[in-house]
Amino acid sequence: MAHIAVPLANDFEDSEFTVPAERLRAAGHRITVIGRAAGDRVTGKRGKARVAVDARAEDVDPDDFDALVIPGGYSPDHLRTVPSVVSFVRRFCATGKLVAAVCHGPQLLIEADAVRGRTTTSWPSVRKDLENAGARWVDREVVEDGNLVTSRKPDDLDAFSEAILRRLGGARAEARP
């Protein structure tokens, strides 16, 4: 099964980590949370999710992963100022493997210079940043452009998760009640 890197810092949108993570794990995929320091505990902005960072960004190689999933919330904004995380994301995007970002997640892709010429979506407040970085922004639940999958908000997580799972080989997780 696939090995997925998830960059994460404090103030991530709780459901934008937990829903895709639950679905990916249920389908047999492995998730490695990367961040500033291994062992750090990061907390979602709603206080419902608390996650341990598995590895420092500078200690992992993009070649060891099959996909990159970037949750939103304020986490991407915090991480875009961490050079090792931005470097990892930039190097991962250069591999051509699956990259998925939801809500404010594309902020990290902007910092990694990975959206120019791409069609994307995001939380509306990120629209102008994406356009200024050279992306075409559309208002759709999920946008797939080559290896890039983007989504707008927590309400879109079912479609976002399904798009990721489909790209990883057709596995389908059980829908939430």
Domains of the chain: 3-167 (3.40.50.880)
Q: What's the pLDDT score for residue 169?
A: 86
Question: Do β-strands 50-52 and 55-56 pair in parallel, antiparallel, or remain unpaired?
Answer: unpaired
Q: What's the pLDDT score for residue 170?
A: 52
The DSSP output letter for 73 is: B
Helices (H), 1-135: 14-26, 75-79, 83-93, 106-111, 127-132
What is the per-residue pLDDT across 138-154, written as a single tens digit (0 to 9) for each?
999 999 999 999 999 99
What is the per-residue pLDDT across 90-110, written as a single tens digit (0 to 9) for each?
999 999 999 999 999 999 999
The pTM assigned to this predicted structure is 0.94
What is the per-residue pLDDT across 14-35, written as a single tens digit (0 to 9) for each?
999 999 999 999 999 999 999 9
Cα-Cα-Cα-Cα torsion 107, 72, 144, 147, nearest 10 degrees, comes to 70
What is the per-residue pLDDT across 109-125, written as a single tens digit (0 to 9) for each?
999 999 999 999 999 99
Q: Which residues are catalytic?
A: 103
Question: Do β-strands 67-70 and 3-7 pair in parallel, antiparallel, or remain unpaired?
Answer: parallel
Residue type for 29, please? H
Q: Is residue 115 within 8 Å of residue 146, measured between CB atoms? A: no
The DSSP output letter for 1 is: -
Tokens of 151: 């989504």
Of the candidates 85, 75, 80, which has an alpha carbon nearest to the alpha carbon of residue 34? 85
